[in-house]
Structure 1
C-alpha cells in the first residue's frame, strides 16, 4: 500500500515537472522577442544614441538581472549604513507599489501607499542619517534630490540595473546563490529581465543568500560560471537572522513551538528554513510587495485562531511589517501577537568591498 502511494506521488511530481518544461518551451519564443528588445535598447545606450545624464554626485546602483527574490533590500541597507558614516548620502527608489506619481520626499511618518514599503523602511531605519526619495524617472529624481539637498555626495539607486538614463559610477549586480542568472531564462519563460550578457555592465557582483560556510574552491567554481569580465570583483553574502521583534511594542520574543508565518516577498524560503530550526511553521504566502487589506488581516487572524497554544505567534518580514503598521491595519493587529524577523547580511571580504565603494566615491 505504501509503495503504491509513493509511486502515485512520484507520478504526480513527474507530471508537474513535465508540465513546467512544456510551458517553458511554449514561452521561449516570447522570451527571445523580449530579450532582443532589451538587447536593442541596451545597444542604443552603449552607442550613446539614447542619452545618459550625469549628475553632480557619485551614483551607486544596486540591482539584479532577475525579478525579485535576490535580497536586494538588506544589501542596500548595508551600503547606506556604511556610506552614511562618511558621506552625505541619499537613496532613490522607484517606490514600487505606491499610488502616487513623480518625485516624493520620504520621511519616517509617510503613508506607505504614497511612497512604497522599501522607501518607507529606509526612511524609518535611517531617520536623520540619510535622505530618502522616490521617483519613477531616476534622472528627475536625482536632480530634485540635489536641488533640495545640494550637499549630497552619494546617491544610491535602489533596483536600477536596467534604468540606464542616469549615469552610475558603480553598478552592483546581485545574483542569488541557489537561483543564479546563469541557470535562468528571460521573461516570461524564466525570471530574467534581460539576456545574461547584461552581466557585463557590472562593476562588481554580490552572490546573495550564500551558505555561511562556503569553501574557497566552491567560490572559485561559482565565479567561473558567472563568466564576468576580467577583474570584476565577486563577493559572497549570507543572511544573518536576528531577533523576533513585536510590531506593537518592539519587545523581543524567543521562538515558540509553533509559528504562523505571513510573507509578501519574492523568495521566503530562506526565512522558512531558518524558523523551522526552532518551530513548526505554517506559511501564508502573498505576492511580492502585497498591499494588505482588512480582509487579509481578518483571514490571517482567523487562521491563527486555530492554533492551540496561547504562546504561539504570527511572524512576518521587516518589509511586510512596514505595510502592516500603516493606517487602518495598525489597530487591527495590535490585539494579536505580531512579530517581524530582523535580519542583516554578512559579506565575505567586507572591508575590500567597502574600500572599493570608497574609491568610486573619492574618484568623483
Structure 2
C-alpha cells in the first residue's frame, strides 16, 4: 500500500514538473542570480576548509610524502587554477600545430562527461559520447596525432608508452592539479576577464586551489585578451600576477575563422550577413561567440558547458531555427552532428594567437622538448 501511494505521489510530482518545468527553471535561475553573492559569502568558511585541504595535499606532494610519478618522455601540462572557461582546448591545439610537424604528439585528457570509463585511445569508431566532446574534436581535427582519455593520468601515460607506435611527446589537458604525474613543463592559463589573482577558493570563488599554486607554472598565459590590449594594461596585469623570477608571462587572444564550416561546405561569415540565424552555444562563456556573430534578428540559444543534447533540446533547436541556418561552436558541433539537419548546421572554428612574443613562447616549448631526456631517441 505504501509503495502504491509513493508511486502516485511520484507520478503527480513528475506531471507537475513536466508541465511547469520552464516556469520553475526561470524562477530558480532568477533567485540564484539574486542570491549568488550572498550565498558565496555564507559559504566562506567552507572555502577556508577547502583551501586548507588542498594546501595540505600540495604540501605532501611538494615534500615527497605523496609520490609524483615522472616519465622518460617530454610531458607538457596545460591547465588553470579556476573552474572552466580559460581556453585550454585552443591552447592544446596551438601546441599540436607547433610540435606535430616534427614529433609524434599524443594528447591525454580525462574525457569530461564521456559515457565510457578507463583508458580509451581514439580510433575510427570513437564518438563524442565515448571520448568527450573536446577530445573527440581534437581527434577529428588532428587525425595524425594520438588522442586518449583516462581519468587516471598515470595509467593513461603508461598505456600510451606501451603502444607499438608510442608518442614522442604527451600533452596533458586540464592536468594542473593532477599531482600524481609530474610533468616536465607546466602552462597555466588565466582568462583576461577572470584573473586568478582576483578570485577566491571554491565555493566562495572559482579557484580549485589557492593562488599560490601558480608557482608550479613554467609560463602563465593570459587568455581571451582584447586584440588591442595596450602595453600599459599588460604591465598592470603583470604587476597584479607578480610572477616568480623564472616564470614568463604571455598574452593571447581568440582569433575567429573567417569561414563557417559544415559537413559539406565552407562559407564566409559575410555570406550570412542580413540572414536570420539561430546561434547555439553550450560553452562556459558564450557571450563573445554570440557577439562576434550577432546580426539583425538572430536568435541566441544557450546551454550549459559540455551539455549533452537531449531529444527535447534538439526539438527546441529545430523549432526555433524555423529552417534558418544554425551556427554553433566547434565543440558543440561534434555533439550536434547527426542530430540536426546537416544543411542547416555550421560551426565557427577558433584559434589561440599571441599578441606579442609568440616566437619566444615557441622557443621555450621547443627548447624544453629538445633538452628532455626522453627525446634523445627521436630521429
Same fold by TM-score greater than 0.5: yes
Distance in 2 between the 1:351 and 1:212 partners?
17
Secondary structure, aligned partner of 1:148:
coil
Q: Which is further off, 341-350 or 242-251?
A: 242-251
Aligned partner of 1:85 in structure 2 is 101
Distance in 2 between the 1:243 and 1:116 partners?
27
Alpha-carbon offset, residue 162 of structure 1: 0.5
Aligned partner of 2:14 in structure 1 is none
Does residue 44 (structure 1) correspond to residue 60 (structure 2)? The answer is yes
What 5-or-longer segments of structure 2 have no aligned partner?
1-30, 373-379
Deviation string, structure 1 residues 267-307 (Cα, Å, up to 9, x no partner): 1111122113x4444221111111112221111111122xx
Counterpart pick for 2:215 among 189, 192, 200: 200
Distance in 1 between the 2:83 and 2:283 partners?
11
Query: Root-mean-square deviation (CA), in Å?
Result: 1.8
Distance in 2 between the 1:141 and 1:219 partners?
38
Counterpart pick for 1:321 among 299, 308, 333: 333
Does the CA contact (< 8 Å) of 2:202 and 2:208 recur in 1? yes
- How many residues are matched? 338
Does residue 188 (structure 1) correspond to residue 196 (structure 2)? The answer is no
Distance in 2 between the 1:103 and 1:263 partners?
29
Within a 5 Å distance, the mapping from 1:1-364 to structure 2 comes to 19-128=35-144, 130-149=145-164, 151-253=166-268, 254-257=271-274, 258-276=276-294, 278-305=295-322, 312-325=324-337, 330=338, 332-334=339-341, 337-347=344-354, 348-364=356-372
Distance in 2 between the 1:250 and 1:56 partners?
43
What 5-or-longer segments of structure 1 have no aligned partner?
1-14
1:337 and 1:44, CA in 2 relative to 1: closer, same or farther beyond 3 A? same
Does the CA contact (< 8 Å) of 2:261 and 2:348 recur in 1? no
Secondary structure, aligned partner of 2:349:
strand
Deviation string, structure 1 residues 128-164 (Cα, Å, up to 9, x no partner): 2x11111100010001101004642210000000001
Distance in 1 between the 2:74 and 2:216 partners?
17
Secondary structure, aligned partner of 1:31:
helix
Distance in 2 between the 1:151 and 1:103 partners?
15
Deviation string, structure 1 residues 47-98 (Cα, Å, up to 9, x no partner): 1111111112100000001111111111110001111012121110101111
User: Given the two structures, how large is their TM-score scaled by the length of structure 2?
Assistant: 0.85
Distance in 1 between the 2:342 and 2:362 partners?
43
Distance in 2 between the 1:236 and 1:52 partners?
30
Does the CA contact (< 8 Å) of 1:108 and 1:124 recur in 2? no
Does the CA contact (< 8 Å) of 1:261 and 1:314 recur in 2? yes
1:174 and 1:289, CA in 2 relative to 1: closer, same or farther beyond 3 A? same
Does the CA contact (< 8 Å) of 2:68 and 2:180 recur in 1? yes
User: Given the two structures, how large is their TM-score scaled by the length of structure 1?
Assistant: 0.88
Misfit runs of 4+, over 4 Å: 15-18
